[in-house]
A and B are shown apart, each in its own frame.
Chain A
Amino acid sequence: MSLVKLASITKKITIAAVGAFLLLFLPMHMGLNLCILREDGGEWYRNVCHFMGTNWIVKIFEVILILSVLVHVVVAILLTIENRKARPVRYAVPSKTKTHAGSKFMIYTGGVVFAFLIIHFINFYFVKFGIVVEDDSDTYTVEVEDLQMHLNEKVALIQEEMMSGKISQEAAQEQMMALQLEYMPFLQVLQTGQPSEKISKDGEELINLTKEELVQFAGEDFKEYEPDFYTMCNKLFAQPMYSIIYLLALVILGIHLFHAINSIFQTFGLNHKKYNKAIEYLAGAYAVIVPLGFAIVPLFVMFCK
């Protein structure tokens, strides 16, 4: 009485294969996270985030990864429903049989990990699409001084090119005009202080900018503006509550992974006394090292910053 017309072993192989693929992803994600530990003001971390957010190969894998998670979850739920149906009347005395560590709670540990994944997506992943923005509300803030420096640099560059004869005087003038036109809203807001809700009282910051306004006031250069994951990460983990939830989720993930890795080998028929011990050790090592690697980041932010 299977819910989907697939053999039980086929379903198991599917969930194991997809799980194995997800296992490859975790150490990579961990490696990227650990870039935050470098004392370079977040240079590496921002570069990594930029690469992950823009590279097209990464984007393809992103789609495959999300589909894998969904397949894993759907098959897990299907199997659980079938398994529950196979024993309509439960035993009065709970089972006292010794079983493999973590194996009885896979659907629950998996559920916790999935719930955590949703929180994680809201906090980090969706930010990329501008659905949730780094500021308290959905807005950006830009320092006037920074923006002016940015503009001055661009003017200086044009002048330099004209002086060195790379471009003609007319072309330079044309470029200057275009630049002035592009930054007109910014210059206007500086001179007139209008619209007043977009500039802070001391006149040092442009505030309450939406993504469109950011481009409008701060120029086309901000079209590809990326949220600052480094600051965001530090801010989030500085909240003890968030870090504790994160760490707890990692413990649960470790329990899930320990049985998962053992299970993958068994499901693929790889059970042999020559290497069974090695599989146990591999699973144990992976289930400890990977969550620990992830845990270093919040612990570092909480205690070393």
Chain B
Amino acid sequence: MNLTLKIWRQENARAKGRFETYKVENISPDCSFLEMLDILNEQLVDKLSHPVCFDNDCREGICGMCGLYINGRPHGPDDGVTTCQLHMRRFKDGDTIVIEPWRARPFPIIRDLVVDRTAFDKIIQEGGYVSVTTGGVPDGNAIPIPKKNADEAMDAAACIGCGACVAACKNASAMLFVSAKVSQLALLPQGKPEAARRVQAMVAKMDELGFGNCTNTYACEAECPKQIKRSNIARMNREFMCAKVCSEE
């Protein structure tokens, strides 16, 4: 496959960025998207120019490090996969592919396609955990949890924090990310005691960091590689209202 790539290049957070056009040739359709970028970078290094920076780690869709905005969609044209799981067979020979970094004020660009997602960590630090020391591994079924709740909590816990929801949202809202963590813990008995404090603190932090407001467009749900559902956002709204009305915290 021969492809034309238009890639966003930016020296650092302050520098002015621009699109650079590159040609790559003889790309195998079985290549992953990141491998294709590796091939491009080999060529660039050979020519003694700077390789294109992009985030990646596990390359099997579980770490949440990779994330590119490809032709108008976070993680590219496939549903429910991360960029590393996207393969070149999804494109046609001769295609032009435009690659941009996540665009959101709370995600400043570090270099080229790499963005700083520390904002997510800061939100988690506000309460995305259970504070009691749990000791050793408890016996199975020592705490009775309905299967349905366990499943829903597990689905919410599948969030890898890649930031595709923020990148996809027209308002750069982090509601899906925050709601996944809030839901996961609100559904389980271990998370219940701190639920009211948690949801208020995490929402406050999310607002403070400059994420936008949810307008129920559900682009987040459509682009989430782990297919986190928007029902989590509804649950967070519920939790938030209950906390404001019932809780003293």
Contacts and interface: CB of A to CB of B under 8 A. Distances in A.
Interface of A: 1-2, 7-13, 79, 82-83, 85-100, 103-104, 106, 259, 262-263, 266-273
Given A100-B217, A271-B231, A272-B231, A93 B71 contact: yes
A9 B218 CA distance: 16
A269 B15 CA distance: 42
B11 to A, nearest CB: 15
30 contacts: A7-B207, A8-B213, A8-B214, A9-B203, A9-B241, A12-B213, A12-B214, A79-B213, A82-B213, A85-B105, A86-B104, A92-B8, A92-B100, A93-B98, A95-B73, A95-B168, A95-B219, A96-B72, A97-B222, A99-B222, A103-B216, A104-B217, A263-B216, A267-B216, A269-B237, A269-B238, A269-B239, A269-B241, A270-B234, A271-B231
Contacts of B73: 95-97
Given A8-B206, A13-B241, A272-B231, A91 B215 contact: no
Given A9-B236, A13-B237, 9 more contacts: A8-B175, A9-B203, A12-B214, A82-B213, A88-B105, A94-B72, A100-B218, A103-B215, A266-B216
Contacts of B222: 97-99
Interface string B229-249: 011011111111100100000
Interface of B: 8, 19, 69, 71-74, 98, 100, 103-106, 168, 170-173, 175, 200, 203-204, 206-219, 222-223, 230-231, 233-241, 244
A97 B215 CA distance: 15
B216 A83 contact: no
**Interface on chain B toward A: helix, strand, loop, or mixed SS?**
mixed
Contacts of A268: 237-238, 241
Nearest to A13: B241
A87 B230 contact: no
B149 to A, nearest CB: 14
A9 B216 contact: no
A86 B71 contact: no
A106 B105 contact: no
The 7 closest A-B pairs by CB, nearest first: A269-B238, A271-B234, A86-B212, A83-B171, A96-B72, A86-B172, A93-B72
Nearest to A271: B234
A8 B230 contact: no
Nearest to B109: A89
B187 to A, nearest CB: 14
B176 to A, nearest CB: 12
Contacts of A270: 234
A89 B104 CA distance: 7
Nearest to A1: B210
B240 A7 contact: yes
Contacts of B238: 268-269
A272 B148 CA distance: 14
A93 B219 CA distance: 15
A86 B211 contact: yes
A10 B240 CA distance: 9
B216 A90 contact: no
A82 B106 CA distance: 13
A260 to B, nearest CB: 10
B208 to A, nearest CB: 7
A100 B219 CA distance: 8
Contacts of A263: 215-216
Contacts of A86: 104-106, 171-173, 210-212
